[in-house]
Amino acid sequence: MTQLRIAVLSQNPELYSTRRIVEACRARNHDPIVIDPLRCYMNITSHQPRIYYREKALDDFDATIPRIGASVTFYGCAVLRQFEMMGVYSLNESVAITRSRDKLRSLQLLSKKGIGLPITGFANSTKMTDNLIDLVGGPPLVIKLLEGTQGVGVVLAETRKAAESVIEAFRGLKANFMVQEFIKEAAGADIRCFVIGDKVVASMKRQAPDGEFRSNLHRGGSASVIKITPEERSTAVRAARVMGLNVAGVDILRGSHGPLVMEVNSSPGLEGIENATGKDVAGLMVHFIEKNAKPGKTRTRGRG
């Protein structure tokens, strides 16, 4: 097996996911280097685009594994795009990451492809509040900040008055948000499908603690192995493909009429899924790179 030099774009080498990716690379005799994208600077030129890190040029990389935090999406993807312009293979491309991070755009793209979603409303004017609430079937309903992550900025409004108050508060802050129907039958649980390429390689059920409707593990949710249906498997793979992601965490609710996609995550955490399933997901990511990393194989080459 040819040794690959792999740039792991992460702000924190001590994070579980970053450590596991580095371990998996080394276990397969590759050379991983953790690079904080915020400490990179770039020479954007036609003939020899370059990236510098700690005053040294980053040359001779075969692949990148982006672990770009939501708060640094813009600059992180700019650095990743520069790697792509240099012909370095990216496990997830910059265009796909920015597409998936835009919650509204990602739902519009999934909707266009006929993938099941919770009914979602979006408006700018305060005059549309009643219409938005009615659009998603009335309370209880969920109000989500478009910029929120890991369950932050997600509110369950159980009455019309509560929904009106939250919407008014968010509008007062000039925040962008969407309103979604509350999927009661999901009972505070969702399914995280970990997709690599065209396969769901691992899946887990995340259950919210008592008194909470958000199932995020960061908010005290619990994880357990779950057997997913063929329809759920197909939905997860299709959702990742619509986003253009080779690696994705697809979050699904079990609705009364089939699976509903809540979100497609471009940097899914490894700790919960590996601990719940016992699978070497990091190793499967590296194996995908081994099969696909070739110079200049990045499809977009930094375009878009």
Query: Residue 1's pLDDT is what?
Result: 65
List per-block mean pLDDT (blocks of 10 residues) for the chain, which spans 304 residues: 91 96 97 96 86 90 94 94 94 95 92 94 80 90 77 82 89 86 84 96 86 57 86 97 97 90 94 94 97 68 41
Q: Is residue 89 part of a domain?
A: yes
The residue assigned the tokens 């690696």 is: 247
Query: Which of 131, 150, 182 is where one domain is finished?
Result: 182
Query: Residue 152's pLDDT is what?
Result: 66
Answer yes or no: do 178 and 190 share one domain: no
Answer yes or no: do 176 and 189 share one domain: no
Spacing of C-alpha 266 from chain mean position: 3
Query: Residue 211's pLDDT is what?
Result: 57
Query: Residue 297's pLDDT is what?
Result: 56
Query: Which of 98, 132, 166 is where one domain is finished?
Result: 98
Query: Residue 301's pLDDT is what?
Result: 39
CATH number for 151? 3.30.1490.20
Q: In this prediction, what percent of the chain has a pLDDT beyond 70? A: 90
Q: Is residue 296 part of a domain?
A: no
Query: Residue 303's pLDDT is what?
Result: 43
216-245 pLDDT, tens digit each: 555 556 778 999 999 999 999 999 999 999
Residue 264 pairs in a beta bridge with: 250
Q: Is residue 291 part of a domain?
A: no
Q: Is residue 158 part of a domain?
A: yes
Answer yes or no: do 126 and 196 share one domain: no
78-119 pLDDT, tens digit each: 999 999 999 999 999 999 999 999 989 999 999 999 999 999
Q: Is residue 12 part of a domain?
A: yes
Q: Residue 56, exposed/middle/buried by CB under 10 A (0-12, 13-18, 19+)?
A: exposed
Q: Where in the sequence is the domain holding 146, given as residue range(s)?
A: 120-182
Query: Residue 304's pLDDT is what?
Result: 42
Q: Is residue 104 part of a domain?
A: no
CATH number for 63? 3.40.50.20
Answer yes or no: do 176 and 207 share one domain: no
Q: Is residue 71 part of a domain?
A: yes
6-19 pLDDT, tens digit each: 999 999 999 999 99
Q: What is the pTM of this model?
A: 0.87
Answer yes or no: do 272 and 193 share one domain: yes
